[in-house]
Amino acid sequence: MKKRLNTIIGPRVPPDLQKQDSLRFLLPTLLLSLSVVCLLVSISQPYWRLKLHAPQYPGGLSVQVYLTHTTGDVKEIDGLNHYIGMKSLSEAAKLERSISVAAVLVLAVLLLGATYVHTRWAVLLVIPCLIFPFGFLGDLYYWLRAFGLNLNPEAPLNHAVKPFVPTILGEGFVGQFKTVASVDSGFYLVCMGCVLAIAGLWFHRLAYKPLQDQALS
């Protein structure tokens, strides 16, 4: 059992080699740790934003979607949405919002775990982080679609606005509103975290593969 565990976490670095070649072993750990920083900071940042432009709102209306909540003119947008029979934004992605922080923490722990595992298995620990941004966009699309296609047929403007799928990125049009949707700081941070994680893996392999080869030979 212990042997098996060792084949997964791989060989440890001999202290003298570590001292001699500090950058080689520090680099993957550093990059993966910075990736974790990006992930954690992203919790405090909006992932996606939607801006609505209409003649009677000179400054436009906007909503920012965080992992845990939404900010901006949510009340006003909800108020407008009731005319077309769209549900309140607060009813969307309740489950996702409740577990999102825990999920990011798990991703962070996995990334840190990858710095400890010196074999190819490290890749497995990084992959969830790489999937995360796509997961976010996929889930967002699911909810936009679910809201846009399930309009209350008894709403005041049921004839003027038919069910539709809101645009997830770029421009769209609903009634007199032009909508502009884009990903935001939090999403960019996660993407940067992914790039750092991939770079970290690359140097991880450069650092530990010779050790592993040596151990096998």
Q: Which residues bind another protein (CB under 8 A)?
A: 20-24, 26-27, 30-31, 34, 37-38, 41, 45, 51, 57-60, 73, 75-76, 79, 83, 156, 185, 188-189, 192, 196, 206, 209-210
User: Which pair of structure tokens corresponds to residue 165?
Assistant: 């799928």
Distance CA 187, CA 169 (A): 13
183 bridge partner residues: 48
> Which one, 31 or 86, has the nearer CB to another protein?
31
DSSP symbol at 142? H
Tokens representing residue 156 in the block: 């005041």
Q: How far is the CB of 156 from another protein (least distance, A)?
A: 6
If the CB atoms of residues 1 and 56 are measured against another protein, the closer one turns out to be 56
Residues 6+ apart with CB under 8 A from 148: 86, 163, 164, 165, 166
Q: Which is nearer to another protein, 148 or 200 (CB)?
A: 200
- 30 or 123: whose CB is closer to another protein? 30
Amino acid, single-letter form, for residue 213: D
CB of 19 to another protein, least distance (A): 8
How far apart are CB 142 and another protein at their closest, in Å? 26
Bridge partners of 50, per DSSP, are 63, 181
Question: Residue 122 CB, nearest distance to another protein (Å)?
Answer: 18
Q: d(Cα 153, Cα 167) in Å, to the nearest integer? A: 21
Least distance between another protein and beta carbon 85 (Å): 13
Tokens found for residue 50: 């939607």
Q: How many CA atoms lie within 13 A of 85 on its CB side?
A: 18
CB of 202 vs another protein, minimal distance in Å: 14
Nearer to another protein, 40 or 105 (CB): 40
Q: Which is nearer to another protein, 37 or 198 (CB)?
A: 37
d(CA 158, CA 152): 8
